[in-house]
Amino acid sequence: MSYPPRYKSLPTTVDNEQITSVKARGTAGQKKFIFHLLAVVAIMYATFSGVRYIARSNLKFAKGLWGCHGAHRNLSSLTSHYTLPSGDKIPSVALGVWQAEKGEVGMAVQAALKSGYRHIDGAYAYNNEEYVGKAIRASAVPREQIWLTSKLWNAFHAPEDIEPVLDVTLANLGTDYIYMYLIHWPIAFKKEGNYVLDEALTANPYPTWQKLEEWVDKGKIRNIGISNFNIRRIQNLTANPLKYKPAVNQVELNFWNPQPELLKWAKEHDLILEAYSPLGGSNEVGKTLSQPVVKSIAKELGITPAQVIISWHVQRGTIVLPKSVTPSRIEENLQIFSLPQDLFDKLEKAATSHEPHRTGNPSNRWGLDFDIFDD
């Protein structure tokens, strides 16, 4: 009788009874071993499936809790709209269209409307309103469902110049009223000559504002606001007996220039800020999205770095205006999530603890002998 090697130390001569008993023990041992193996495999499988199920359920729960913004718009704990003093509700995420070229802006607007955006941030000076208007008309979305913002350029602050340029914007956009019209800069240029400062209207924007209020009353504008105004300039305007106070102030806000003092002041004075260049603008978007703190939060939450930044803006209480002409990014930028408080705090701390710098400041380019933001 030959045994498997491991039994070689067993006696080589045995009687039949011993043989039968050894065989029986061997078979029972093998059965026990196979049984245990199967049991272990079954337990491992059950554990693995259970963990997977729980993880999925948690993810669904978390998604339900956080809510997808925009296209899904369900149970978001990040606001999808803010209510303005007029009672109008403004969507918290817009597609920005500055530097969106004529050949691409229409496609971007259509992609945005398809993804669920209902807010487009434009301006007369972006020189592409005609293409934005065409894209809106070509879309299936009713015009009145789209929050359109435009801006009064610096050369048209004189009260008599406002209606003609507003009409050009309305005609280009294909509408007879606009949801939001902003004074683009707290700087007025004279009509004659390029970039010649109108000192009187720059020092006192009230005549411009009064004319805008008139157009609110006449129905061409639903809400009026300001852009690039610092606190001193806001107070300079609001010291007047305004009929309508500024609905928003659109300013640069991003990781590099988070302006916590302005944000705090605006909240205390019930003024909503709109974050322009929210990703750092075309020059600094790459640097923003590769910040270790941004990347680590993105990884932890399973979202993209751009979504972390855009979510952070809305969680700070601002409207956010990311610009993109890339359909996949346009869609990505609308999906925002409430960051857990510790991660929000971590990002806020990182953004506010380095030396701030602006990603854009035209003061020199416009030949001003003062800094628009400091003066």
Ligand X SMILES: NC(=O)c1ccc[n+]([C@@H]2O[C@H](COP(=O)([O-])OP(=O)(O)OC[C@H]3O[C@@H](n4cnc5c(N)ncnc54)[C@H](OP(=O)(O)O)[C@@H]3O)[C@@H](O)[C@H]2O)c1
Select the residue interacting with ligand X from 291, 318, 333, 335 (CB under 6 A): 333
124 is catalytic: no
Whole-number minimum distance, CB 172 to ligand X, in Å? 16
Whole-number minimum distance, CB 276 to ligand X, in Å? 3
Tokens of 7: 């039994």
Q: Does 69 sit near ligand X (CB under 6 A)? A: no
Q: Rounded to the nearest 5°, which phi and psi values hold at 121?
A: -105, 110
As a whole number of angstroms, the distance between CA 49 and CA 260 comes to: 46
Q: Does 308 sit near ligand X (CB under 6 A)? A: no
- Comparison of 22 and 165: residue with beta carbon closer to ligand X: 165
Listed ranges 135-143, 200-208, 328-336, 364-372: which one lies at the site for ligand X (CB under 6 A): 328-336
Select the residue interacting with ligand X from 69, 118, 119, 323 (CB under 6 A): 323
Q: Does 329 sit near ligand X (CB under 6 A)? A: yes
- Comparison of 93 and 289: residue with beta carbon closer to ligand X: 289
The position carrying tokens 């500055």 is 98
Contact 152, 184 (CB under 8 A): yes
Q: Does 372 sit near ligand X (CB under 6 A)? A: no
Q: What mask, x for binding ligand X by CB under 6 A, covers residues 248 to 287? A: --x-------------------------xxxxxxx--x--
* Residue 362, Cβ density class (10 Å: 0-12 exposed, 13-18 middle, ≥19 buried): middle
Q: Does 320 sit near ligand X (CB under 6 A)? A: no
Q: Does 228 sit near ligand X (CB under 6 A)? A: yes
Contact 268, 277 (CB under 8 A): no
Listed ranges 31-39, 188-196, 316-324, 340-348: which one lies at the site for ligand X (CB under 6 A): 316-324
As a whole number of angstroms, the distance between CA 35 and CA 264 comes to: 67
DSSP string, 330-371: HHHHH---PPPHHHHHHHHHHHHSS----S---TTTTT-SS-
Q: Does 246 sit near ligand X (CB under 6 A)? A: no
- CB atoms inside a 10 Å sphere around CB 47: 10
Whole-number minimum distance, CB 64 to ligand X, in Å? 24
Element (H, E) at 149: strand 147-152
- Comparison of 121 and 129: residue with beta carbon closer to ligand X: 121
Whole-number minimum distance, CB 226 to ligand X, in Å? 10
Buried b (16+ CB within 10 A) or exposed e, 119-154: bbbbbbbbebbbbbbbbbeebeeeeeebbbbbbbbb
Listed ranges 14-22, 50-58, 109-117, 317-325: which one lies at the site for ligand X (CB under 6 A): 317-325
DSSP annotation of 91 reads: E
Angle, vertex CA 171, rays to CA 150 and CA 183, nearest 5: 25
Q: Does 247 sit near ligand X (CB under 6 A)? A: no
- Comparison of 22 and 296: residue with beta carbon closer to ligand X: 296
Q: Residue number with the shortest CB distance to ligand X?
A: 96
Q: Catalytic residue among 124, 126, 179, 276, which?
A: 126
The dihedral over CA atoms of 14, 15, 17, 20, expressed in degrees to the nearest 10, equals 50
Q: How many residues bind ligand X (CB under 6 A)?
A: 28
Site for ligand X in 79-108 (CB under 6 A): 96-99
The position carrying tokens 């303005």 is 84
As a whole number of angstroms, the distance between CA 91 and CA 274 comes to: 11
Select the residue interacting with ligand X from 113, 121, 246, 291 (CB under 6 A): 121
Provide the binding-site residues for ligand X, judged by CB under 6 A.
96-99, 121, 184, 227-228, 250, 276-282, 285, 289, 306, 321-326, 329, 332-333
Active-site residues: which are they? 126
